[in-house]
């Protein structure tokens, strides 16, 4: 596949990658996608976010900062 003059990788060697490598790849992809102003969230995202904010407002849920969330995910993945 070719895009803007560069050949793109169409498949990652997931079976050969460690969980840590997979998480790093996900972070890099997400970081890059977040910079793209042409990508729009689906319309249902707004509704889901509103529901989650309401759950926080009434004490049924809480927010976790991104660094804490990543550390928690890494701890879980370490045991998989």
What pTM, to 2 d.p., does this model score? 0.46
Matching residue, tokens 């460690």: 18
> Is the pLDDT at 2 greater than 50, yes or no?
no
Domain positions in the chain are: 42-80
CA-to-CA distance for 20 and 79, rounded, in angstroms?
12
CB contact at 8 A, 8 and 1? yes
pLDDT digits (tens, 9 = 90+) for 38-57: 888 888 999 999 999 999 99
Predicted confidence band of residue 1 (pLDDT cuts 50, 70, 90): very low
- Measure the CA dihedral 45/47/48/51, to 10°: 160
Predicted confidence band of residue 79 (pLDDT cuts 50, 70, 90): confident
pLDDT of residue 34: 87
């Amino acid at each position: 596949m070719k895009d803007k003059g560069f050949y793109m990788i169409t498949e990652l060697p997931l079976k050969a990658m460690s969980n840590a490598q997979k998480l790093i790849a996900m972070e890099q992809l997400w970081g890059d996608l977040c910079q793209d102003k042409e990508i729009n969230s689906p319309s249902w995202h707004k509704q889901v976010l509103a529901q989650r904010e309401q759950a926080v407002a009434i004490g049924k849920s809480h927010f976790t900062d991104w660094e804490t969330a990543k550390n928690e995910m890494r701890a879980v993945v370490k045991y998989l």
